[in-house]
Amino acid sequence: MFRIDFNKLRFLVCDDNPHMRRILRTLLHSFGAREVYEAEDGASALEMYTHYVPDIVITDWSMPIFDGLELAQMIRQPESKGNPYAPIIMLTGHSEKRRVTVARDAGVTEFLAKPISAKGLYQRILNVVASPRPFIRTKTYFGPDRRRNTANAYIGPERRVGGEVEVLQQPSLLDKARSSV
Amino acid sequence: MAKEKPAEIKVKTFSTHHVITQPNPLRKVLRRVDERDLDDPVARAEQALAGLSGEFRDWMLIEADRLSSAHAAILKHGFSEKAAEELFRAAHDIKGDAATFGFPSAAAAAESLCRIIEHAPDLDKVPPELIVHHINAIQAIVRDHTKLDTAKVSTELSRRLRGVADEYLRHVNRNRPEHLEAILAPSIVPGE
């Protein structure tokens, strides 16, 4: 049986509702977390994300300025200076299929529908800590592998195609420039 | 944890995509414990949440008043985009928070109101009493929460409101299949 050492984890919680932030802070501290940073909108959260480099982000969807979905999209920028791989747990009152799909396509790692419970939150954190998924980068997506089912039998329209290609090691432009001097 | 050096990232390239893996940077926070270990973080958190519960009614009163203020602004100035957004945000917060605070019927009524705001083709044409009844119901559920025998009434009230709202939404969206599908679709996200 495994336990999480929450005191070694740094959390960023983003929710515009102060009551929900208090609930989340209480739950995380009770689990054993010491470092819990809080933001009340997406813009502050992004700033804090860059500054504090949290291990796990827990964000609401509906927020002023920019929402949790936009926050996820901004974190999942492969070329960004910050860490684009941090697990994002989307906590929201939206629970329709369409919404879940949109959140998944924005690079959200886990989805937790409100009302939240201690058990539900703990389970999502355990999932991202113990079973991280590889990241996928396509022309239109960068984020955790959206396939939960690893069976190869799926032949639907969104099946990724294409075999492994030979990767030729190319010298970087900087190396090329150096060698030509 | 966050200060540690990032683990080495491996990229496997395919013709349509890249698969990026890195050794689990959070693995070090996992600790194996004996099956007989008595520490239960979930129970500890539930206990802490119960310790907060004395404040939940006050929080709900604040949320319900915010909803009524948003509605009062609409009655005064009409359904501007900003006003509709504020009403939706207030209802949506109640939908999300109320069950955690011990007011599941208020959450159900707020969810019904959210569906009206989200799926009505024209908010100005929504029968005003449909919105008023939702807001009054939420206020009543929150304010009469401590009275005996109100739980059953609250549940029934929310169920009836949802029925009326759904009937209205099905009718006004009969030619809007994408909305109709969303209205009729069940929630697919497990709460636990």
- Give me the CATH code for the A6-144 domain, please: 3.40.50.2300
Report yes or no: B98 and B60 within 8 Å, Cβ to Cβ: yes
Q: Would the pLDDT of B176 be above 50?
A: yes
Strand duo A35-39 + A10-14: pairing: parallel
Asked if residue B97 is part of any domain, the answer here is yes
- Tell me how many domains chain B contains: 1
Q: Name which of A23, A49, A100 to mutate to probe chain B: the one with the most chain B Cβ atoms within 10 A of its Cβ.
A: A23
The alpha-carbon gap from B52 to the nearest alpha carbon of chain A, in Å, equals 8
Q: Is the pLDDT of residue B151 over 70?
A: yes
Nearest C-alpha neighbor of A69 from the set A58, A80, A60: A60
Distance of residue B41 Cα from the nearest chain A Cα, in angstroms: 5
Distance, in Å, from the CA atom of B191 to the CA atom of B168, rounded to the nearest integer, reads 28
Per-residue confidence of chain A (181 residues) as pLDDT tens digits?
788 999 999 999 999 999 999 999 999 999 999 999 999 999 999 999 999 999 999 999 988 888 999 999 999 998 877 889 999 999 988 767 778 889 999 999 999 988 899 999 999 999 999 988 889 988 889 999 887 665 555 555 555 555 544 333 344 444 444 444 4
What size, in residues, is chain A?
Answer: 181
**Are the C-beta atoms of residues A68 and A90 closer than 8 Å to each other?**
yes
Task: Using CA coordinates, name the residue in chain B closest to A128.
Answer: B26
The interface pTM score, or ipTM, of the predicted complex is: 0.84
Q: Tell me, yes or no, whether B174 lies in a domain.
A: yes
**CA dist., res. A41 & res. B63, Å (int):** 18
Average pLDDT, chain B: 88
Inter-chain contact B48–A26, Cβ cutoff 8 Å?
A: yes
pLDDT at A158 (0 to 100): 55
Among candidate residues A178, A139, A175, A180, the one with its CA nearest the CA of residue A160: A139
- The partner residue sitting opposite B29, judged by closest CB among A112, A129, A138, is A129
Residues in chain B: 192
Are A17 and B98 inside 8 Å of each other by CB? no
A65 with A87: CB under 8 angstroms? no
Residues sharing a CB contact under 8 Å with residue A118, sequence separation 6 or more, in sequence order: A27, A30, B42, B43, B45, B46, B49
Q: Give me the mean pLDDT over the B86-95 stretch.
A: 94
How many angstroms separate the CA atoms of B147 and B154, rounded? 11
CATH of the domain at B62: 1.20.120
Domain that holds residue B130: 56-184
**Domain presence at residue B29:** no
User: DSSP 3-state assignment of B152?
Assistant: helix
Calculate mean pLDDT across residues B173-183: 89
Say how many C-beta atoms besides its own lie within 10 A of residue A137's C-beta.
17
Residue B4 lies in a domain: no
How much is the pLDDT for B45?
Answer: 96
User: Which residues of chain A neighbour B6 with C-beta distances below 8 Å?
Assistant: 83
Whether residue B122 lies inside any domain: the answer is yes
For residue A159, give the chain B residue with the closest CA: B16
Contact A9 B24 (CB under 8 A): no
Chain A closest CA to B139's CA: distance in Å?
18
- Number of A:B CB contacts under 8 A? 184
Is B92 within a domain? yes
